Structure 1
Amino acid sequence: MSRTIWGLHMSTEHETVPVDQGYVTIGWHHMGDLSTLPADREAFKQRFREAYDDAKAGAIPVQAGVLYRFAYEMQQGDYVIYPSKIDRMVHIGQITSDYQYLPNAPYDCPNRREVKWLAHVPRTDFSQSALHEIGSALTLFTVTSHAEEFMAALAGEATGANDVDDESVEEVSTQVEESTEDFIIKRLKSKLTPYEFEKFVAHLLTRMGFFARVTSQSADGGIDIIAHKDELGFEPPIIKVQCKQTLESVGRPKVQELHGAIEQGEHGLFVTLGTYTSDARTFERGKPNLRLIDGPGLVDLIYNHYERFEPRYQMLLPLKRTYIPGPSISSAD
């Protein structure tokens, strides 16, 4: 019978103790002894709602599912993969016990299973796509796509992953970029009111070297921000900005409305979290004094000027500078 291969993440607070002492553990101590619940996912969801009444509705089935799998779906003999951030090793072992509840366990992690650790393999021995699979955002998950690669490492066989797979690296880099872009756009959509979003765009413009003021919330004539290069706003160019805190596609009529409010010698800027229709883009190309910024374009501007943001906006968008692999650069002959 084939055995399930589980991937599991543990907090760095545990250091190397789980590997040294032979176990894996997860938290959610307010759930109590999971073995007192029937092997029923709905029962786990209900207990989770009661134990964590401030949990978001969308998170309940995910977290309850993790706990259900740990208590009931994991079986003795199943394999477990633990990618440790402490020693940058991929630890591979085999489950040797049923579910255990240790109420006095450290770090509020009472849910435990004993493990016989069988191999400790450097991360660099695996392909980038395999590392991406075990980098799941979930605490507990099944490993399927690269199961053979991990089992080969357990058997001491070369995986052939020491050579860098450019395609896999590029795929992972793209996924990181897309995830960060999604995070920024979702925060700007969910954490700000439309008027606060206008203030955010105005702040971005000031960090780009403009003076910017947000217009009144009512009777603004479709102009949300007026930006200019001099402090008094007399010297051209004057930029009139419209902001749409929407994830939907903005069409040509809305863009034309902004352009109709632009007087001679002025410029128009339309900023949205979403996208623009092809008709809107066609209209933009015919108007040299009009610029359309979509969600990805806004994210790029945020990256370029983030270090000069006020602390409140850095708290809104907590980002850190890091490096990820990029496309190969060929040297000229």
Structure 2
Amino acid sequence: MSYEQLRDAHALAHPTESAASVISAASQVHHFLADMTEGTRVVTYDPGTREYLIGRVTGDWYESTDDEVSYVRPVQWYGAASRDALPTDARARLGAGTTIFRISEEVAAELARAAGVQGWGGAPQVQRTSGDVQVVENSRVDETQPVGLDDDARAASAEDGIERIKDRVLDLEWDQMEALTAGLLRAMGYYSRITARGPDGGRDVIATPDALGLESPHIVAEVKHRKSAMGTPEIRSFIGGLRPGDRGLYVSTGGFTRDARLEADRSNIPVRLIDLDDFVRLYTDVYDRVDEETRALLPLVRIWWPA
């Protein structure tokens, strides 16, 4: 089908969608079906690991056996570029990679450098396919087509904002991260305090429902502000330090290994693991209730969008 045929078919199948939304959807499908070919360079962003994976398409599209409405292109991946290893300008241009946009040759070269892949640079274009975000080169899309200010565009802008907030969180010092965690708990309705410096047995922040700390449950939070993922030994040690009636909260901006999450699931005491993505989304959810002291650590600006 041509782009025009895809556009008309989508409009017929979704009569309540706006014209801009129809154009956006048809363009994405046409990119996937017609513009991506064997050998096309691609990139997909993983917000969990904050990495841009780079590779090349190795074949034609096919229908997924797992989902009758999902279509896939096989890709050979060559390496991963950490978002944290990219210059600020490149991170700003890439965002969360959830909409179709053209990236510059300079940004493509930065991705290749950060991933340690030689000869991959060029002028690709970002493309969404089957829920993933990929970079496509040699696109034939008419760049004069309007981009829809619809739900997809709003969601893309929101995800880009989340990634930018993560960048700011990673720039904080370890003690500021503890204070931010305490502020988050206060915004969620708890009375929280940071424990005194020194050996704390995994008790960086304590939160309770009442100001005196007499009511249960006691939320005991461990805060690790580093790039490496927490493993099973760290989670096991944290759980071992919890007392009857405690509730464990482990915040790790570097995330957790799969085994660490399994260890938390097996705990007899309720334990919640929060990685960087979880933390930022919780923070944005309760930002209206965040106190001024905490806002000074991580100030946000609300962006209004036409309904």
Structure-2 change in CA distance of 1:245 and 1:207 (3 Å): same
- 1: CA distance, partners of 2:209 / 2:88: 50
Aligned match of 2:228 = 248
Deviation at residue 177 of structure 1 after TM alignment: 3.7
Counterpart residue type for residue 257 of structure 1: S
Residue 293 of structure 1 pairs with residue 247 of structure 2: no
Aligned match of 1:180 = 161
Structure-2 change in CA distance of 1:173 and 1:223 (3 Å): same
The 5 A counterparts of 1:182-331 are: 182-190=163-171, 192-287=172-267, 288-322=269-303
- 2: CA distance, partners of 1:257 / 1:227: 20
- 1: CA distance, partners of 2:259 / 2:275: 14
- 1: CA distance, partners of 2:228 / 2:193: 26
Deviation at residue 242 of structure 1 after TM alignment: 0.2
- 2: CA distance, partners of 1:185 / 1:250: 18
- 1: CA distance, partners of 2:174 / 2:272: 20
Task: Answer yes or no: is the 8 Å Cα contact 1:245–1:272 preserved in 2.
Answer: yes
* TM-score scaled by length of structure 1: 0.48
Partner-residue secondary structure (3-state), 2:142: helix
- 1: CA distance, partners of 2:88 / 2:295: 29
* TM-score scaled by length of structure 2: 0.51
Structure-2 change in CA distance of 1:264 and 1:134 (3 Å): closer
Counterpart residue type for residue 309 of structure 1: V
Task: Answer yes or no: is the 8 Å Cα contact 2:179–2:294 preserved in 1.
Answer: no
Partner-residue secondary structure (3-state), 2:215: coil
Structure-2 change in CA distance of 1:148 and 1:247 (3 Å): same
Deviations 1:206-252 (A, max 9, x none): 11111111011212122101111111111111111100112321111
Task: Answer yes or no: is the 8 Å Cα contact 1:246–1:274 preserved in 2.
Answer: yes
- 2: CA distance, partners of 1:218 / 1:178: 38
Task: Answer yes or no: is the 8 Å Cα contact 2:99–2:156 preserved in 1.
Answer: no
Deviation at residue 195 of structure 1 after TM alignment: 1.3
Deviations 1:125-157 (A, max 9, x none): xxx966x4499xx9xxx897666514xx5xxxx
Superposed CA RMSD? 4.0
Counterpart residue type for residue 199 of structure 1: A
Partner-residue secondary structure (3-state), 2:207: strand
Deviations 1:56-86 (A, max 9, x none): xx87998xxxxxxxxxxxxxxxxxxxxxxxx
Deviation at residue 175 of structure 1 after TM alignment: 4.4
Residue 149 of structure 1 pairs with residue 149 of structure 2: no
Deviations 1:165-199 (A, max 9, x none): 99xx74x5564344322222221221x32112111
Aligned match of 1:84 = none
- 2: CA distance, partners of 1:289 / 1:212: 19
Counterpart residue type for residue 286 of structure 1: R
Deviation at residue 313 of structure 1 after TM alignment: 3.6
- 2: CA distance, partners of 1:204 / 1:187: 16
The 5 A counterparts of 1:62-81 are: none
**Structure 1 portions without partners, runs of 5+:** 1-57, 63-127, 154-158, 326-333
Deviation at residue 290 of structure 1 after TM alignment: 0.9
- 2: CA distance, partners of 1:243 / 1:60: 26
Identity %: 29
**Structure 2 portions without partners, runs of 5+:** 1-85, 91-97, 108-122, 126-137
Deviation at residue 257 of structure 1 after TM alignment: 1.0
**How many aligned positions are there?**
189
- 1: CA distance, partners of 2:87 / 2:240: 45
- 2: CA distance, partners of 1:269 / 1:60: 31
